[in-house]
Amino acid sequence: MFGTLSRTMSSNAQSGRRTVAKSDREPGGRRTLRVLVGILVVALLAGGGVAWRTGWAEEWWHDLRADAAGPPADPAAVAPPPEVDVAPVAVPGALAPAADGTAALERAELRKALAPLGDRDLGKHVIAAVGPLDGTGLSYRIAEGPSVAIPASTTKIVTSAAALFLLGPDRVFSTTTVLDRSAGTTPRLVLVGGGDPFLARAPEPPTAAATYQPVRADVRTLAQRTARALKAEGVRQVALGYDDSLFSGPALHPTWRPDYVPEEINPVSALWVDEGRPLPGQGPVADPSAEAARVFRDALAARGITVTGATTRTRAPAAATPVGAVTSPTVAQIVQRLIEVSDNAAAEILLRQAGVADQGEGSFAAGQRAVTRVLSANGIAMRGSVLHDGSGLSRANRLSPVVLVDVLRLAASADHPQLRALIAALPVAGYTGSLANRMDLGPDAGRGRVRAKTGTLTGVTSLAGIAVDRDGHLMAFALMADRVKKPKSMLARVAMDNAAAALGACAC
């Protein structure tokens, strides 16, 4: 299946090759076609290396096309009338080999493809690793100077993999309300945060954007369900508290720059709305949990429930009666969104959820212990890695490109289907997420052939993902540069994009 699509895309790229690509803002028809092809690429890659190698995917694609087209019309299957002399129909052979994730890659070809990494705009510390997607060992490596670099947002790859291992792709997080009748003459209602990264103020309309947007739980719906349940029990007046105790430790990591708030991140909380972002025209939200409780209180009052006294932080009693609940998207859906758009807040929530699941504590430190432990237990050599957060905002993080390559290969393996969402989430060059408008100045074959997570901080640019070359070879790669001079930032990003795109354009 992947081989068929890659041959088609390769042929199209060669017939329409140009030195400098046009803007991503193309006429509607072409844009629609690109989006459809991008969606196909997402689905195809998510199928895993085994499907590509065994031919299962080819059979699936054939069946799908047959179902869509109605009754078969294969001329070889129709007997000619006896009076007509018709020559046997020749069945054409494959135009190119099927995609292969195990084939050895040619070191000399990889060296030529990665020549853009020698661009001076990338600075004095550039490291890289490339290897077969479904294999072991490395086919090519650049490791001059320190063998680790600041990973920036490629950190989200290891965070997501650990979360999928520890929580499972189908896990959801619930925001609930419980009623404590022992609190006095007026029962106390407690809003309990469950660590839903995408909890919203109100329902959001569906979107037709190519970039994935899961359906989010919201506080207004929770208030509606809670008010209905309270009225059914004859309760129309409550005191209100909120419980955000699932997470612990500092809400902002001490290694983050102060100016990251609120543009890049907000104080991390087990109970927040809209990732702690303020409404337009308002200042930063100092206490996201208190803001979530305020929004809930207003929504509850609008549905006929009187709230008395101040809203206070508390802990929900174990014996309290459940009243209402809303649930988050699944972990797989959260990973899909956070990888596609590089969502810092969602990554930090998943890090803490991993800490709760593995270490019994929802802090930065516990989350990183969980990441290191679970990846090491699954064969990833984490020695030398330094991780302080889940998003990659910390400039104190260090990863080697080998770790990123090995995590991607683990996610593509048929032995770990719970990680498949990570591969499916990788943005497609020229089509989706953080790569929708990238790789438009390099080899055309990079579009649709390269899927990667971006990483960007001041002085840092990186890409880690997978690619299929012109011969159908599937590879995992990680390219990192962390000493880029600030005036060269955009030029460095173009050089990095050109190197990744060249992997899709080569015959490696």
Query: In the chain, what are the domains?
Result: 107-149+400-505 (3.40.710.10), 174-329 (3.50.80.20)
Range of 74-83, 99-108, 284-293 with top mean pLDDT: 284-293
Task: Indicate if the pLDDT at residue 157 is higher than 70.
Answer: yes
Mean pLDDT, rounded, for 482-489: 96
Place of tokens 């081989």: 3
Mean pLDDT, rounded, for 451-480: 96
158-181 residue pLDDT tens: 999 999 999 999 999 999 999 999
- Top pLDDT among 480 and 84 is at 480
Which region among 83-92, 133-142, 152-161, 223-232 has the lowest average model confidence (pLDDT)? 83-92
Q: What is the residue type of 298?
A: D
Q: What is the pLDDT of residue 20?
A: 31
Can you tell me the distance from the alpha carbon of 341 to that of 209, in angstroms, rounded to the nearest whole number? 12
Task: Indicate if the pLDDT at residue 288 is higher than 80.
Answer: yes
Q: Are 407 and 380 in contact (CB under 8 A)?
A: yes
Task: Indicate if the pLDDT at residue 41 is higher than 90.
Answer: no
Mean pLDDT, rounded, for 294-312: 98
**In terms of DSSP H, where are the helices of 170-287?**
219-232
Q: Are 455 and 155 in contact (CB under 8 A)?
A: yes
Task: Indicate if the pLDDT at residue 351 is higher than 80.
Answer: yes
Q: What is the pLDDT of residue 88?
A: 58
- Top pLDDT among 99 and 35 is at 99
Can you tell me the distance from the alpha carbon of 340 to that of 351, in angstroms, rounded to the nearest whole number? 17
* Buried-state track 241-269, b at ≥16 Cβ within 10 A, e below 16: bbbbbbbbeebbbeebeeebbeeebbbbb
pTM, to two decimals:
0.81
- Report phi then psi at 140, rounded to 5: -155, 140
Tell me what the pLDDT averaged over the chain comes to. Answer: 84
Can you tell me the distance from the alpha carbon of 175 to that of 289, in angstroms, rounded to the nearest whole number? 12
Which strands, in side-by-side order, build the sheet including 306-313? 306-313, 237-243, 188-192, 174-180, 321-327
Which region among 181-190, 288-297, 381-390 has the lowest average model confidence (pLDDT)? 181-190
Q: What is the pLDDT of residue 443?
A: 60
